[in-house]
Amino acid sequence: MTTMTDPADTPHDDTLRPHVFDGIQEYDKRLPRWWLLTLYGSIVFAVGYWAYYHAYSIGTPPAQALEKEMAENAAIAAKKSGVIDDKTLWKMSHDTKVLSAAKVTFETTCAVCHKPDMTGLIGPNLVDQEWIHGGNPMDSFKTINEGVLVKGMPAWGPMLGRQKVAELVAYIFAHHHPGEEVKIVPGWTPPPGVMPVAPPSPPPAK
């Protein structure tokens, strides 16, 4: 079998590999510099990307950034349309801007009775799966908006307005997820030593 080594086709720096298959030989072709640079460049980039987004969490991974932006857009759209329903409230519960605004309102207005971590004090726990007035965002919207005056829960709608009430619902439901199993309970028992309603003040001393 003849080997086809036409010197005209053979660049100086390419050696011929020793094997022959069906009369075919191959050069030990050197990889072009641009190709190698692209390969090494992408390895360096991948390490950097992995460190930046995953190992050290310096940046928000693009998928999460997109999700956040979508939630924000949904919240803006909901705000513009003025519609408040379970769906928009669930969407708002993923919106970091809404949540940080609501945190301030909750801590200044609601935490005295529900505790800053919402686990309940005078008012019920808002982060467990037990609800007095229903476990959907709109149920809470109604309770917060109209209050349960006889039980000591004030009506916040007239004081805060619909937008702020909606934000508070989003803040509460950021601790829940759609379709979770809920239990309807008749009422809340405050922890021992905590009065359900403010005790009557003693009669003034004569």
Residues of this chain that bind ligand HEC (CB under 6 A): 109-110, 112-114, 122-124, 126, 131-133, 140, 143-144, 148, 151-154, 156, 168, 172, 187-188
CA-based nearest residue to 11, from 23, 24, 27, 26: 27
Closer Cβ to ligand HEC, 16 or 99, answer by number:
99
Closer Cβ to ligand HEC, 200 or 204, answer by number:
200
Distance of closest approach, residue 173 Cβ to ligand HEC, in angstroms: 10
Distance of closest approach, residue 71 Cβ to ligand HEC, in angstroms: 21
Distance of closest approach, residue 199 Cβ to ligand HEC, in angstroms: 13
Closer Cβ to ligand HEC, 74 or 182, answer by number:
182
How many Å apart are CA 171 and CA 195, to the nearest integer? Answer: 26
Closer Cβ to ligand HEC, 74 or 155, answer by number:
155
Distance of closest approach, residue 189 Cβ to ligand HEC, in angstroms: 10
Distance of closest approach, residue 87 Cβ to ligand HEC, in angstroms: 18
Closer Cβ to ligand HEC, 75 or 102, answer by number:
102
